[in-house]
Amino acid sequence: MKAWTPVPQVVGIIGLGKLGSALGLKLRDRGFRVLGSVKSPKSRERLTKMGFEVHLDNNVVVSKSDVVILSVKPYNVEEISVKTEKPLISFVAGVPLSKLSAFSNRPFRAMTNVALTTIAVTGPYDEQIDGLLKAISPRVIWVDEKLIDPLTVVLGSGPALVAKLLDSFVRASVDIGVPWDIAKEVADELFRYVPLLMRQRSPEELVEMIATPGGTTIKALVEMAEIERVMASAFEGAMARLVPKR
Ligand SMILES: NC(=O)c1ccc[n+]([C@@H]2O[C@H](COP(=O)([O-])OP(=O)(O)OC[C@H]3O[C@@H](n4cnc5c(N)ncnc54)[C@H](OP(=O)(O)O)[C@@H]3O)[C@@H](O)[C@H]2O)c1
């Protein structure tokens, strides 16, 4: 029988920025010891005040950790000169496993967002890494590496894209005379409730339930027909910007 392996207790985060510190705070809440690195003394000072052990030398972070998380901007990856046998999980957009193997002989490539809703990860399945990531988000999906790029757009940029949809819904409501506060409350409830409804019914069934022939819903839906093309073109544009980074 395979021996039970505990998840790593000390996590080192190279790049304690917006995503790195969100990951660090969640791991700390879950009882992990978290330390990390940044580039500037100013960021180090700010993060130290938040209770993190922060270094300006990435190799110190690697030496003191059981597992390393990489969360620098893609253009900072060239500056990273660590080399370890410890597992390294990179959340850096657009940087493939083949490149990460320069930093660790156990590289994993992952994607999430600042809300830490879901984590997609690629690499050979590893129970310890799965356990560590599940401490951050219960929704961890192991995927083929080719899915990480599209998921970077859908999942990584997801909160900004959904915020844009929600905001458009509110503004269109205000445009036809609904007060701001009511428009926001209605939109907020709908964006929470409709995904639950869609677990029981397909979008087509839902539309047929609501849209009376010749009625107002179908008129609004026909006017919104372009949204699918606009969204597809937005996602394709984001992918085109992501992939040449390689
Ligand atoms: N933000 C998101 O919503 C999101 C979502 C999914 C994936 N990601 C990915 O996560 C990565 C980080 O994004 P972010 O938005 O968190 O960026 P960020 O806020 O700019 O954080 C980057 C951090 O890396 C540090 N850094 C830069 N060069 C370094 C080096 N050579 N050694 C050690 N630390 C270094 C920076 O230090 P200083 O503070 O001193 O400059 C900063 O704290 C990106 O690759 C991005 O693609 C981000």
- Contact yes or no for 82/14 (Cβ under 8 A): yes
Distance 75 CA to ligand 1 centre (A): 10
Binding residues: 14-19, 58
User: Is there a single domain that holds both residue 21 and residue 122?
Assistant: yes
Distance 39 CA to ligand 1 centre (A): 10
- For residue 39, the ligand 1 atom closest to its alpha carbon is 40
232 in a structural domain:
yes
Sign of CA dihedral 96, 102, 107, 110: negative
- C-alpha–C-alpha distance, residues 13 and 36, integer Å: 4
CATH number (domain holding residue 90) = 3.40.50.720
3 in a structural domain:
no
CATH number (domain holding residue 233) = 1.10.3730.10
Is the CB of 76 inside a 6 Å radius of any atom of ligand 1?
yes
Cα first-last separation, the chain: 42
User: Is there a single domain that holds both residue 180 and residue 94?
Assistant: no
| Three-class DSSP labels, 98-111 | HHHCCCEEEEEEEE
Read off the tokens for 53.
């052990």
Q: Given this model, what pLDDT does residue 1 score? A: 47
| Residue that is last in its domain, among 96, 111, 144 | 144
User: Is there a single domain that holds both residue 199 and residue 83?
Assistant: no
Low-confidence ranges of the chain (pLDDT < 70): 1-7, 244-246
User: Is there a single domain that holds both residue 137 and residue 192?
Assistant: no
Of all protein residues, whose CA lies closest to atom 7 belonging to ligand 1? 156
Is the CB of 38 inside a 6 Å radius of any atom of ligand 1?
yes
User: Is there a single domain that holds both residue 120 and residue 45?
Assistant: yes
- Domain range for 114: 10-144
Is the CB of 18 inside a 6 Å radius of any atom of ligand 1?
yes
183 in a structural domain:
yes
User: Is there a single domain that holds both residue 132 and residue 15?
Assistant: yes
User: Is there a single domain that holds both residue 193 and residue 95?
Assistant: no
Is the CB of 16 inside a 6 Å radius of any atom of ligand 1?
yes
Burial of 163 (0-12, 13-18, 19+ CB in 10 A): exposed
Which of 25, 48, 62, 72 is the pocket-test mutation for ligand 1 (most atoms within 8 Å of CB)?
72
